[in-house]
Structure 1
Amino acid sequence: MSTTAPRGAAVALAAACVLLLAACGDPSGGETAEVANASGTRTKINLTADQNRVTTAKVDSIAAGVPARIRARGTLEVVGSSGSAAPLSFHATDDRTVIGVETDIAHLVADVLGLEPRIRTVSWENIFVGLDSAKYDVGFSNITVTEERKEKYDFATYRKDNLGFAAKKGSGLKVDGPEDVAGRAVAVSSGTNQEKLLVAWSEENEKAGRKPVDIKYYQNDTDTYLALRSGRIDLHLGPHPTAAYHAATTGQTEIVGTYSGAGAGLQGLVAATTKKDNGLVEPLADALDEIIRNGTYAEVLKRWGLSGEAVATSEINPPGLPRTGA
């Protein structure tokens, strides 16, 4: 459930609740990576194609609400990002099978709806192109609810959204607000809520007479982290879970600041995303509430070290990241 809180509280919550990780080798090399929740318990993440996913039963009353064309087809066409973003969505050690918390939650939702999930991965911008054209039914790809996106898409929330500023290990940097990134080179992915926040911070710096942020864009995380290690950029702003995972499994970076994905006064929320008014958002939200109720949702989050990002219920189109300048 989304709640409002002052910025300091949101940052403290992110730091306290989002996953902590203990390295067990590079995720591209070994078969497991060890994660630790805030409680201190540790779990080994399975990085192989043999996932043995958590499953759940079909609920006829919820499945009946799925639009007829999708029920007749018998599949749920799911789209996610092709970029590697462990533990959210990334390739297993076979370099083909897509695994991660996003994929697992999509499978659970499809189970409740009595549909066969077909997972497709595309570039970030093509997620929305595919949703617009109805090529895909729903996006499960760490998509944050924003006021701008709500004009074209319906959202059923399923995780808290917290962001992380990553720096080269031992950098001595600390990010608490816009002034801490003034004049610094910061990498961010285009078209994301992270970019919107960074642009807003840059504008705030200029209005305050400080230097703007030197915003940098890279094609993939590999290039971004190479630039970070070489000193070509000072910081990378991205989803906190992926930043924390990279820091722990490589030992080359560190988290130097956290922030809510919806901005200063609102807890960001990640949501299943579908074309507006296509009739699918209600059964998606009902399916998410079912897996929250029956405990399989908690199993999946624990499996990926993300228990701190749990929500109590799925909300349809809650308040999201405001428009820039709003």
Structure 2
Amino acid sequence: MSSPARRTVRALRHRPLAVALASLTALVSLTACGGASDAATDQVAPKGAKGGTAINLGPDQKRVHTAKVDAIAAKLPEAVRKRGTLNLGVSTGSAPPLAFYATDDRTLIGVELDIATLVADTLGVKPEVDPVSWENLFVGLDSGKFDGVFSNVTVTEERKDKYDFATYRLDDLAFEAKKGSGWKVAGPADVAGKTIAVSSGTNQEKILVEWSRENEKAGRKPVDIKYFQNQTDYYLALQSGRIDAYLGPNPTSAYHVASAGQTEIVGKFSGAGAGLQGKIAVTTKKDSGLVDAYAAALNHVIENGTYAQVLKRWGLSSEAVTTSEINPPGLPRTKN
């Protein structure tokens, strides 16, 4: 694991978001687990959350669990069964409600961790989660360090050349702009000449680059694409007017809109682009022998209802899938 110095740097990097969420008492309703102090730090219900369900931001997550299924566990490669752990990667660049740090600035929480836990439960192994940068998720898969990645990874045709996928959520993207912008994004023409921030190496970057090229071919201005190191920088740039919008995963944007009250979603799209619904999937090295076990475990928790409990907990019921698919059609290859 990381050294104390690295943990301190990591905590400071994520602290502004945790503090902001904890201080939103005027914007959100609070439900206490214990004393009054716990209410302000561990339980937050984003403004407008369906049913007013509180979201636990504390380190004691009381995660949803399920029982081992021997027949599904038998699908794991023998080496993984004997080891008794699943070595999983998650991106440190993620944000609520995907994968982020709890109010102790040390414990990883979020929907990705909860779904990974259900899969590991079903397979009868312990999830060992390693937070790394986005690019190192794939380095870890390539080297065999990771048995899988639960980190909002979209299925793409290019990625299918090297990796196997078992889907567990719909993939939607959102353009997030400053509140009251009066701007709506319906297609490439609406972002011509605009300054848009996006995370490097993601499928949303790929879509934005293609939209920019389409604008240029049509005689319109290209998109001025900007990149930042972490989530806080994106939102500071948005509030200061240095960017017009941020294109990111819909779950992250929806959570931020609800909790901070400073921005709005001005456009929502499938993560696979026009004509195809994108899918988020657990990602593993191609032909590793793991994808069948993952898909079977996911289908089991979909059927027994624990999967739905997890999505509801994080306000993502609208992104549920009815079945886990192995290597479905993905985001098309980049056009040269």
Q: TM-score, normalised by structure 1?
A: 0.90
Provide the rounded CA distance (Å) in 2 between the counterparts of 1:82 and 1:179: 33
Are residues 140 and 148 of structure 1, via their aligned partners in 2, closer, same or farther at CA, if it must alter by over 3 Å?
same
Summarize deviations over 1:52-103 as a string: whole Å, max 9, x none: 1000000000101101111111000111011241011110000010000000
Question: Structure 2: which amino acid aligns with 1:172?
Answer: G
Provide the rounded CA distance (Å) in 2 between the counterparts of 1:271 and 1:173: 32
Provide the rounded CA distance (Å) in 2 between the counterparts of 1:93 and 1:25: 17
- Residue 130 (structure 1) aligned to one of 126, 131, 140: 140
Alpha-carbon distance, 1:24 to partner: 2.2
1:55-66 → structure 2 map (5 Å cutoff): 55-66=65-76
The reply to whether residue 87 of structure 1 matches residue 97 of structure 2 is yes
Alpha-carbon distance, 1:42 to partner: 2.4
The reply to whether residue 283 of structure 1 matches residue 287 of structure 2 is no
Alpha-carbon distance, 1:210 to partner: 0.2
1:82-231 → structure 2 map (5 Å cutoff): 82-231=92-241
Provide the rounded CA distance (Å) in 1 between the counterparts of 2:291 and 2:266: 36
The reply to whether residue 24 of structure 1 matches residue 35 of structure 2 is no
Contact 1:109 1:288 in 2 (8 A): yes
Runs of 4 or more above 6 Å deviation: none
Contact 1:37 1:307 in 2 (8 A): no
Tell me, which stretches of 5 or more residues in structure 1 are unaligned? 1-21
Q: CA RMSD in A?
A: 1.6
Which is worse superposed, 244-253 or 153-162?
244-253
Contact 2:164 2:285 in 1 (8 A): yes
Q: Which has the higher relative contact order, 1 or 2, with Cα contacts under 8 A spaced 6 or more apart?
A: 1
Query: Percent same amino acid among aligned pairs?
Result: 68
Higher helix share: 2
Question: Structure 1: which amino acid aligns with 2:308?
Answer: A
Contact 1:36 1:43 in 2 (8 A): no
Contact 1:35 1:304 in 2 (8 A): no
Provide the rounded CA distance (Å) in 2 between the counterparts of 1:91 and 1:297: 22
Tell me, which stretches of 5 or more residues in structure 2 are unaligned? 1-25, 31-39
Instruction: Tell me the residue number matched to 1:34.
Output: 45
Contact 2:28 2:47 in 1 (8 A): no
Alpha-carbon distance, 1:33 to partner: 2.1
Provide the rounded CA distance (Å) in 1 between the counterparts of 2:188 and 2:158: 22
Summarize deviations over 1:303-323 as a string: whole Å, max 9, x none: 111100000000000001001
Instruction: Tell me the residue number matched to 1:266.
Output: 276
Contact 1:147 1:321 in 2 (8 A): yes
Count of residue pairs brought into register by the alignment? 302
Are residues 106 and 163 of structure 1, via their aligned partners in 2, closer, same or farther at CA, if it must alter by over 3 Å?
same
